Structure 1
Amino acid sequence: MYAAGVIQPLLSPYRLEAAARMFALPRLDSLKLTLPSCCLWLLTTSLAAQSTPSQTPSPATPTIRTGTQLVIVDVSVSDHNGNPVHGLKQGDLILTEDKTPQDVRHFEEHSASDKPAGPQMPAMPPGMFTNYTAVPADSTLNVLLIDTLNTPMKDQSFLRDQLTQYVKKAAPGTHIAIFGMSTRLYLLQGFTADPEMLKDAVEHKLIPRASSLLDDPVGTGADATNMSDIASDSGAPTEVVANLQQFEAEQESVQTQFRVRFTLDAFNALAHYLQGFPGRKNLIWFSGSFPLSLSPNPDISDPFAVIADMEEEFRETTNLLTRAQVSVFPVDARGLMTLPSMSAANSGSKYVTNPKAFGADIQKFSQSQFDEHSTMDQMADATGGKAFYNTNGLSDATAKAIESGSNYYTLTYSPSNHEWNGKYRSIKVALSDAARAQGLTLTYRRGYYALSPDNAKKPEQSAVVSEAVAAAPGSASNYARLAMQRGAPTPHDILIKVRVLPVSDKPDDTLATGNVVNPAKPLKPPYRRYQVDLVALTQDFAFTKNADGTIGDTIEVKLNLYDTDGNLLNVAGQTAQIKLPADKFKLLLQNGLQYHTQLSTPAKGETFLRIGVHDLSSNRFGVVEIPTSRISHLPPAPAAPPPPASNPAPPKP
């Protein structure tokens, strides 16, 4: 078994090699499309095959064969001025788990100054797209998460100005991706070290959005007029006022619970996406509130009615982040906070009729600040990051978070406790006597939940990965749902390349065969029809050998068409149960999995085509998203081939 942090460094050479193999597969523009539309090449080969099964060839996937359990801990070391410290030796850091000394098996120093160049993407022909992202195999990746779900619009505008300042002075070679979060996760800019691309994303994609789940979506700071306040001012009975206060508090709690679940779902999806990249990732989370804990409200008749237990969801999220080797740096986007009761936006009239309300508001504000800062610190401690609050220098906080997360030491150990009972295990890293005298500060994740993936209800709940699923992502149902949503991160568990070309330069009035339009958003002619040709790397699928010697798997290909608002317009695809003799499987390894179909889109207007391959056995995904504006000007696809013979021979590699 392996703890999550170890998986990606071990597999990073494989992903680079796999990408090279994928681009070496037959070029889609040179394939002879001799198969009918909406047909998997390997499925047709299976049905036509009559040969005797032979010995199964060993796939070119990396196989990690060991029963050892490994845990990885990234430790950032800083001096009394907050500057990173380099040059420490293995003996300078002493690691214990549950107060038991552990033998460090691997020790490695990482420096922000060591920024290897990323692998070069091969030139892609017109109409060709891939989900492969070229990032350095041995460098730190950084993610800026803009949380519009929990942040008022005023603070979003302030954050945008601060990030504009940061990208202008970001250190060269810093690889950054930008995500947005509302009720789900959006990819705004993929990983890049190009400052112009980052600047363009910040200036044109970080559009302030109001969150309907916030009490003050704009961020005016003015007190909202509640029914309980109106009832109290009008002299209503005390019991009526108390009941109204209870109702309002419970409604607010429901809104907060929605924000908690949307937030955790977004973090889970992001962890799944980042798990496919090697090495450490720093997640800088900019938010106007951090609603991961709900405390009793002493101001209402039933204080405990607003409590929601999120411990299991929080544990699952932190374990997912651990598996993906992600450290979270929460940053309070509101800057330095002041008492709302002192704001000029408040008239203060309620304090005239109810003098006790002033002290109650101060206490409520102080408790809210304490809870949110505690949540920020808890998330940072659980993942090895650091929280930033009560500062207006968000640009400087971003720079410090990236610097701290890019200079660190990696310690790997095999736990001496072999009982995986789901309990929390604390990790402590201490300095040797010589290093302690320098007054250094250590930042690292403080523990993990020792859940065995073999016994967990859901594999993604475990921070430890068994040998059988060492290279596979978790199987959360939410991940399967979000993977094909418009604007979401494009999973790359399965590496694919896709060619999309218009069938003709003229619109037509006939919907492509196999297309299913959304009845709520029906497409109307004229249409523009596209030929879609896909090839995927066979080694990324979980093919298994059956008792009869054949090799099988269940694979789903989906094509979703969306409008600019994210509404689903049209769907195509196929699910196939594969069963191949070994000699035909060898051909599949050489040629890759190929799929050909056609999809109709509106003849006018921008739409987005999201193409995905899903291995149902391992829950791995490969997805690309393509704006049709990038392909509508391309030349038409080759003419459709004649129908195949009744018993066609499989194409040669």
Structure 2
Amino acid sequence: MLAGQSTGCRNRRFTFLTKSRHRTLTSFEEHADVAQPALAEDALAPGVFTNARRMHMPSVVNIVVLDIANLSLPDQMYLSTQMERCIEHLPAGVPLAMYLNTGLHSVLLQDFTANHDRLLDAVHRALPHFAALGRERFTDITTLRGIAVDFAGIPGRKNVLWFSGGSALSLNPTGMVATPSAELRLVYDELEAARVAVYPIDARGLLVGSTLPVLSAQHGLMEDVATATGGLPFYNNNGVWQAAIRDLLSGSNFYTLSYTPKNLKFDNRWHRVRVTVDGPYTLSYRQGYFADGSNITVPAGARTRLLAGNRTEQVEQRTPIVFRAEVKPVAPGALHPGERPPAPGQTRYSIDYLIPGKALSVKQQGAEADAVVGVGFLALDRDGRPLVQHASASPFPSIRRS
């Protein structure tokens, strides 16, 4: 299955080709941008959080990843300026989510919001930021796999704007970028299953006097990621914020085309796919697939899974559990019996949460039923390092069915 995007292609004829031969489409689906009800997020009190927006997502969502693993402090300050201008020119009502990747951790800076002040605050919290030590041990494969896993639970197509300073593999002692292609194949399948299109953007702008072999390898990998996932690369140009606006606005209307090859064989080869449309349009789509059998193990979030023997399997999309949580400090004397007071300089917090009843698992025992809810939380510092983590499954008192 391939997802392509273009603006103004309605009532146009698409042509699908492999090996220069016309192919019959299995399905054709148009996704138009439809206005969604706004979430009154500004009405939330401080310390109150909810993911209710994820139940009213548009057909395509935009996610910004600020990857500083290989981005110097001056380049981060340049990126901060470019992001400010991008948000300034972003039309009202376009929601974004923003993440920070330090190489060791990926931190959610701001969940989906169309509030420009909140987006600017997220940028200023993240940039500039000292990169984590030991980041050279983490590769773009780690980052891309994290993107696939983290965003698979978000419904619809995801456009991920990946701002970076090029592959972190250039930090190794030899200074050469050598990404294992076999591992990338698996990651590309995971991204396709999660319906993620990656738009790599070199946050350093126009580069002068850089090491040419490393720079060429980094930009080559950006091209590869974009080609494999249906995005567009952008590098060696100072128009960073203009490129971001282009990518954010161009994907609101798109088409999903699916084609099932006859007598599918896992021949471990790259099969190029080409889509054309009559008229002066620019298309971005996943331009092929590796028939190496890796796609039979894609995550369960895929809508259609391709199997050997020309078979397909329909898989149900995962939907998020809507919750509302309130985090507030506990008064010094308000402790439970037997609970130790916090150490000097520490503050204890309580978390009150509200979830829908249908999210509970119910164990029926005769006329009574036990409802069980699993809750987990993770507290991080500003560098993304975990401070406190806890997970438990708490039974509710038995309830009697009438």
**TM-score bin (small chain):** 0.7 to 0.9
Quote the offset at 1:159 in angstroms: 0.9
- Structure in which a larger fraction of residues adopt helix: 1
AA of the residue aligned to 1:313? E
The reply on whether 1:265 has 2:142 as its aligned counterpart is yes
Aligned positions of 1:453-602 closer than 5 A: 456=297, 459=299, 465=305, 467=313, 470-472=316-318, 493-498=320-325, 506-508=333-335, 512=339, 524=343, 528=348, 530=350, 532=352, 535=355, 538=358, 557-561=375-379, 572-574=390-392
Are 1:534 and 1:595, in contact at CA under 8 Å, matched by a contact in 2?
no
Superposition CA RMSD, Å: 4.4
Cα distance between partner residues in 1 of 2:195 and 2:152: 7
Cα distance between partner residues in 2 of 1:512 and 1:316: 48
Match of 2:96, SS? strand
Q: Which residue of 1 aligns with 2:207?
A: 337
Q: Which residue of 1 aligns with 2:309?
A: none
Cα distance between partner residues in 1 of 2:133 and 2:262: 49
Match of 1:321, SS? helix
**How many residues in Structure 1 have an aligned counterpart in Structure 2?**
389
- 1:446-495 deviation per Cα after TM superposition (whole angstroms, max 9, x unaligned): 12345768964x747999637585335xxxxxxxxxxxxxxxxxxx7444
- Percentage of matched positions with identical amino acids: 28
Cα distance between partner residues in 1 of 2:164 and 2:70: 6
The reply on whether 1:283 has 2:283 as its aligned counterpart is no
TM-score of the aligned structures, taking structure 2 as reference length: 0.77
Q: Which residue of 1 aligns with 2:35?
A: 116
Are 2:303 and 2:315, in contact at CA under 8 Å, matched by a contact in 1?
no
Aligned positions of 1:10-89 closer than 5 A: 71=1, 73-77=2-6, 84-89=7-12
Are 1:294 and 1:308, in contact at CA under 8 Å, matched by a contact in 2?
no
Cα distance between partner residues in 1 of 2:198 and 2:275: 19
Match of 1:443, SS? coil
Cα distance between partner residues in 1 of 2:371 and 2:221: 43
The reply on whether 1:650 has 2:399 as its aligned counterpart is yes
- 1:509 to 1:570, Cα distance in 2 relative to 1, 3 A: farther
Match of 1:406, SS? coil
Quote the offset at 1:412 in angstroms: 3.0
- Name structure 1 gaps, 5 residues minimum: 1-70, 78-83, 215-254, 300-305, 341-364, 473-491, 514-521, 546-550, 576-593, 597-647
AA of the residue aligned to 2:333? K
- 1:450 to 1:153, Cα distance in 2 relative to 1, 3 A: same
Quote the offset at 1:155 in angstroms: 0.8
Are 1:152 and 1:211, in contact at CA under 8 Å, matched by a contact in 2?
no
Aligned positions of 1:300-311 closer than 5 A: 310-311=180-181
Are 2:65 and 2:99, in contact at CA under 8 Å, matched by a contact in 1?
yes
Quote the offset at 1:381 in angstroms: 0.3
Q: Which residue of 2 aligns with 1:187?
A: 108
- 1:527 to 1:178, Cα distance in 2 relative to 1, 3 A: closer
Quote the offset at 1:156 in angstroms: 0.8
Of 77, 91, 94 in structure 2, the residue corresponding to residue 171 of structure 1 is: 91
Which has the larger Rg? Answer: 1
Q: Which residue of 2 aligns with 1:447?
A: 288
Cα distance between partner residues in 1 of 2:389 and 2:64: 32
Match of 1:103, SS? coil
- 1:553 to 1:292, Cα distance in 2 relative to 1, 3 A: farther
Quote the offset at 1:329 in angstroms: 1.1
Q: Which residue of 2 aligns with 1:201?
A: 122
Quote the offset at 1:203 in angstroms: 3.3
Match of 1:442, SS? coil
- 1:467 to 1:460, Cα distance in 2 relative to 1, 3 A: closer
Are 2:84 and 2:120, in contact at CA under 8 Å, matched by a contact in 1?
yes
Cα distance between partner residues in 2 of 1:324 and 1:95: 22
- Name structure 2 gaps, 5 residues minimum: 306-311
- Structure in which a larger fraction of residues adopt strand: 2
Cα distance between partner residues in 2 of 1:101 and 1:293: 41
Cα distance between partner residues in 1 of 2:87 and 2:173: 41
Are 2:16 and 2:274, in contact at CA under 8 Å, matched by a contact in 1?
yes
Cα distance between partner residues in 1 of 2:10 and 2:263: 31
- 1:324-360 deviation per Cα after TM superposition (whole angstroms, max 9, x unaligned): 21111111111111125xxxxxxxxxxxxxxxxxxxx
Quote the offset at 1:316 in angstroms: 2.4
TM-score of the aligned structures, taking structure 1 as reference length: 0.50
Quote the offset at 1:368 in angstroms: 1.9
Quote the offset at 1:372 in angstroms: 1.5
- 1:273-305 deviation per Cα after TM superposition (whole angstroms, max 9, x unaligned): 3222222221111111124699997x9xxxxxx
Comparing 326-335 and 365-374, the one that deviates more: 365-374
Are 1:495 and 1:540, in contact at CA under 8 Å, matched by a contact in 2?
no
Cα distance between partner residues in 2 of 1:524 and 1:87: 64
Of 68, 74, 98 in structure 2, the residue corresponding to residue 154 of structure 1 is: 74
Quote the offset at 1:95 in angstroms: 1.1
- 1:202 to 1:561, Cα distance in 2 relative to 1, 3 A: closer
- 1:172 to 1:119, Cα distance in 2 relative to 1, 3 A: closer
